[in-house]
Amino acid sequence: MPKMRFRAAAALVLTALLGPALWMPAIAIAAPADIATCDRLAAHPSDPDKPANVRGTLNIADVPAALKACKTAAAMPDAPRRIWTELGRAYEFDRQIAEAANAYRKAADAGSSTAMAGLGVLLLQGNGIKKDIAEGRVLIEKAANAGDVEGMLNLGSLYGAGIGGKSDLALARKWYAKAAEANSAEAMYQLGLMMQDADGGPKDDVAAKALFEKAAALDHADALERLGAYAEAGRAGEKDAKAAIAFYKRAAALGNEDAGKALERLRCPYQLKDRSNGKPVGRICFDGG
């Protein structure tokens, strides 16, 4: 079974279920600059509502600035639904989970598939609020069927783990494939795991490796670790210790702990033992180049 992970439009934290409408003190009058700043700092890259000239970001770098701009923009009468989605993301990155859920709810009720995906994950996680798996799954299904990338990715995880319904690995593959086609690195990685392990379909190391390569090109740490393992073992290709070390180094630099351990093993292949008791006393290491 692959590792199942949920991804929201921002981070994987959960909020409180909503009260009525989100109360927003009118501390300032929204100006076009506030809306533009909110878009620039907090729009999700795959949100179809974002302006065409806005690239979007997976990780909000300046959370205080995003909160300030998005709060002011949301205070505007008839604020676009994307502003509420972006405000939800800013709150989520600031760990104000109840506020994030309220903002997502407002945007989701207005039809935002990105907000549906974000709120759905918050409800599924249940950290700090009452967990609602049924509603969370419904929201993610709506988002996925509307073409939201995070929704498709998360629905694949739901089918894979059997959360909110029976496990169906074939459907998990299907939704991961859809998200992968939409350029989700995490979906590429998850689908690759399913193919290498023959989950939900035939085993195909060559196709799995190709998916890991695509995800690695997007700096996916776990996919890089898999490429290192494939190169080390000669899986779907020739053994290549030098390439394995290079992949492991990149993966470790991006935070993958398994890659760090594998790198150390390759760089230090020979263990020294105390001849009197056989206990390890060190290793002989070489520069991996």
Query: Which domains does the chain possess?
Result: 1-172 (1.25.40.10)
CA angle (123, 124, 127) in 5-degree steps: 75
For residues 265 and 281, give the distance between their C-alpha atoms in angstroms, rounded to a whole number: 15
pLDDT of amino acid 190: 99
Q: Which of 12, 203, 204 is nearest to 120 (CA)?
A: 12
pTM for the whole structure: 0.83
Contact 47, 123 (CB under 8 A): no
pLDDT digits (tens, 9 = 90+) for 28-79: 455 689 999 999 999 999 999 999 999 999 999 999 999 999 999 999 998 9
What's the whole-number average pLDDT of the chain? 90
pLDDT digits (tens, 9 = 90+) for 221-272: 999 999 999 999 999 999 999 999 999 999 999 999 999 999 988 878 777 8
What Cα–Cα distance (Å) separates residue 183 from each residue in 20, 153, 168, 180? 36, 11, 23, 5
Q: Which of 82, 61, 56, 67 is nearest to 27 (CA)?
A: 67
For residues 174 and 195, give the distance between their C-alpha atoms in angstroms, rounded to a whole number: 12
Beta bridge partners of residue 284, listed in sequence order? 270
